Structure formats: structure tokens, C-alpha cells
Amino acid sequence: MRNNKTAKLAVCMAAVLCSACLLSGCGKDREREELLEQSLVSADDEEIGTSTAQIGSLREELTFSGEVYYPVIREITCPESGYALKQIVVEVGDTVNSGDLIAEVEALSAEDVNAKQQQIDQKQKELEDVRAYTNQEINSLTAERNAAQTELERQICDLKIQEQQLTMAHMEEEYAKEIAGLEEEMQQIQSAETLDGIYAPYDGVIEEVNSITAGTVLTDSRPVVAMYSVETCLITAKNPGNVRYGDAVTVTAGIGDGRREYSGQIVGADNALDEGIQDGNLYIKLTEDYDPENLKNIEIVATGYEVEDVLVVKANAVFEQKDESYVYLLQDDKLMQRHVIVGGTDGEYTWILQGLSEGDVVSIQ
């Protein structure tokens, strides 16, 4: 019986909608409203469900997935230059605690010291050879200039001499830097205290291991591994929807019986922090203790928007027709189609901005 009633209602209102749309296309909005208000169809309260417009609240709930993001990443180097690498004892993905051994190193031998001195001597000899060759070229160009017959020939020789002088100054500067670096390494080798290894500065996970051959002399600026700290982590999510900076969220993570719920807060985003976040990444800080190992299969629940003291009806009382919203208003046991403006919905209730008043009764589709 109810299906027959609904079908009858739909047929009756279809004709009304056609007329209303034609009027609307001509720009006669008021005539459309009057037509809709006059379109009454008999209704039976026992056969048609109803919803009463009342003051209430809406709360949109968003659910999306996330993953762990560790913002503290550090490249680990040898604390002092002048030590040779024996072996790196960690691999990518290893979990280490503060003070755990990352790589074994050893002090350089007397042979290593001699080799470093030989490098310094070789660079100094190369510098002297460059100076001698450049001076020889300058002397040759000077003699050629003195024998020149024209002013143009003398000017060309002058330019070539200047070019040789500039080249020589540049080469001296480069060699001076290399020799100074080698001498500093020599001093570090000679003054190095006993060091047997490189150790983790904090609790974390090895992210990268550099390819360094055993026996390579390390410096305090050459990275051996990279690791991130598990002492601080954030949860990141991509394209979360209509959420805001500072909002509280609930994060559920873990596997099986170990799955648990954490409280969190949105602390950053790739776009505007104080505006609705429509795309990009957002970052969530957990506001209670957590186990980093448990942060797997992450699901986040956030509030998209929340409004109070607004006029609402059951969501299934509102229907769409040609990009506009309507309800069937119940008056004197008859249904009247009424155009409404919708402010939002949480799936259960719909916020009515215009078209209904508190206490109005509408049918449920």
C-alpha cells in the first residue's frame, strides 16, 4: 500500500516539477515557488513516514588512513677525523638504542701517517711544477713582446701574460686549500685519542647506510649512516578533506588484539594552517604515550564541521531535483512540495537554511 502511495505521489509531483522548471528557465522564480506551494497531494499519516523540523546540531565525521612520519633525521659521522673504518655493523631498517654501536673504527698506523705526509709532499711538488711552468711561459711571452714590431702585437702579448698570471693565482689558491686540508688531517691523526667506534646518539631506526670501503679514512663531515629518532614522530595523512589546524582527532593503530586508540591533534599542514585543509598533507601529534612499534594500519577519525542550534530534519526527507533541494511539507493531511536551501548534512540529519520553520512536518522518502 505504501509503495502505491509513493508511486502516486511521484507521478503527481513529476508534472508539477516540469511546470516549475519551465517557469524557472524563464527567470520566474516566484511563480515557481507559488506553483510548488499550490501543488497539494493527499497524504495518509499511517502510510507516509514523517520528520519534524527542529533545532538541533550536526557533526560531520571523517575517516581516513595515515602513516608514521619521523621529522628528526640525522646523518651520523665519525666524531673525529683521522680514523679508518673497520666495518659498519648496522643495516637499513635496524632499530637501535642510544649508545648502540653503529660502526667500528681504528686509529691510523704510522704507515698511514707517512702516507698522509707523502700526499702533502706530492701536492707541494705539483704546486712548484705549476709555478715553474707558468713562469717559463710568462718569460717566453715577455721576450716575444719585446721583439714585437707593432702595438697590436704587444697588446696581444700583454693579454696572454695577464691570462697566465691569473691562471697561476687560481692554481696557487686551489693547491693551498688542498695542502691545508691534508695538513689539518695530519694534525688530527697525530692528536687523535683512542676511539673504537661510532655510536647511536638516540633511540631510532637506521634509514640509510652509505657504501664505504673498509680502511677508508673518515672525517667528521662524512656521513656513515642516516637514522631517524623514534622519540618524536607524527602521523601524516594525504588529502584528508574538510578538517582544520588545531582540531582534535582519534587515531587507531595496531594489529589484531594489540590495536588501540590514541588521542591526537592536527599540528600542521602543507597548505594554510588556519584554513580548511582541502588537499596536501596534514600532520597529527599524538597527545598521549604510544609505542612506535604499534603504529601500524593507522586509521584517523576527525570532525569535518560541527554546528549547533540550527534547524534540521531527517536527511532522507530531502531530495534533489536539477541541482536544487526539496522536501514534501505535510499540511492539512496533504503533501506540498517545498523548495529548501541546505547548509550541510551529517548523513542522518540535514541542516535547512531556508524553506522550513521549526515544527514543520515533512515526509520521509
- The pLDDT assigned to 10 comes to 45
- Residue with grid cell 590495536, as numbered in its chain: 259
- Residue with grid cell 608514521, as numbered in its chain: 68
Does position 253 have pLDDT exceeding 80, yes or no? yes
Delineate the domains of the chain, giving CATH numbers in brackets: 49-71+232-365 (2.40.30.170), 73-228 (no CATH)
Lowest mean pLDDT among 83-87, 104-108, 283-287: 104-108
How many Å apart are CA 83 and CA 188, to the nearest integer? 9
What pLDDT digit, counting tens, does each position of 9-30 carry?
444 444 444 444 444 444 445 5
Give the phi and the psi of residue 338 in degrees, each rounded to 5: -130, 130
Look at residues 201, 3, 215 and name the one whose alpha carbon lies nearest to residue 88.
215
Does position 314 have pLDDT exceeding 80, yes or no? yes
Q: Is this model's pTM higher than 0.75 or not?
A: no
- The pLDDT assigned to 316 comes to 92
- At residue 85 the predicted structure's pLDDT band, cuts being 50, 70 and 90, is very high
Does position 55 have pLDDT exceeding 70, yes or no? yes
Q: Mean pLDDT of all residues in the chain?
A: 81
- The pLDDT assigned to 134 comes to 92
- Residue with grid cell 578538517, as numbered in its chain: 243
- At residue 345 the predicted structure's pLDDT band, cuts being 50, 70 and 90, is confident
Does position 252 have pLDDT exceeding 90, yes or no? yes
- At residue 110 the predicted structure's pLDDT band, cuts being 50, 70 and 90, is low
Q: Treating both helix axes as pointing N-terminal to C-terminal, what angle do 151-191 and 110-146 enclose, rounded to 10 degrees? A: 170
Label residue 24 left, alpha or beta by phi (over 0 means left) and psi (-120 to 50 means alpha). alpha
The DSSP annotation for 309-342 comes to EEEEEEGGG-EEETTEEEEEEEETTEEEEEEEEE
DSSP run (H or E) holding 114: helix 110-146
Which has more pLDDT, 33 or 157? 157
How many Å apart are CA 178 and CA 53, to the nearest integer? 83
- The three-state DSSP-derived secondary structure of 231-258 is CCCEEEEECCCCECCCCEEEEEECCHHH
- The pLDDT assigned to 11 comes to 41
